[in-house]
Amino acid sequence: MNKQIKTKNDRFILRFATKEDVNLILKFIQDLAEYENLLREVVVTEEILINSLFDRKTAEVIIGEYDGEPVGFALFFHNFSTFLGKPGIYLEDLYVQPTMRGKGLGKIILSFLAQIAIERNCGRLEWWCLDWNESSIKFYKQIGAKPMDDWTVYRVCDESLENLAKG
């Protein structure tokens, strides 16, 4: 059985996802994408998740359960800081169901990720946030996160990625 991690909230536990959670992970991804108005961009399938998360182990997932029911997740992976000479944790997605927000569950998940970062000797925990998500930005600043305003994210994908690979 997957180890359950107790939290400050007796009704809320965390656990690392297993292959049996792949349908749930996909549902949370779709729910998050819908909240972010990006559902049209979701092409991931259960098979892709199994391959990426459990066969190749390219990322890890934490499931949050409230009174035994899954209510949120965090998907993260390691990156590396050449300036620090240490790995970091990049939080790709954090999602808590709308009906469960305001209970401090997101902060508990972030706190657990910070604990993992320290245990694994990581120098950073970082993530992106959509510019329009003012409630999240306010929350992140309250916990001490600093926006990286002097950096711009660039992305190469689809045909551009293929063209770049061809040289």
Let me know if 140 is a catalytic residue.
yes
Q: In the beta sheet, which residues pair with residue 61?
A: 75
Q: Which residue has the tokens 């993260």?
A: 76
Q: Of 89, 94, 68, 55, which is closest to residue 10 (Cα–Cα)?
A: 68
User: Which strand ranges, in their side-by-side order, compose the sheet holding 69-81?
Assistant: 4-6, 12-16, 60-66, 69-81, 86-96, 125-127
Distance CA 105, CA 91 (A): 16
Catalytic member of 35, 95, 140, 154: 140
Q: How many CB atoms lie within 10 A of CB 105?
A: 22
Q: Is the dihedral of CA 129, 152, 44, 4 positive or negative?
A: negative
Give me 113's structure tokens. Answer: 């990720």
Q: Which residues are catalytic?
A: 140
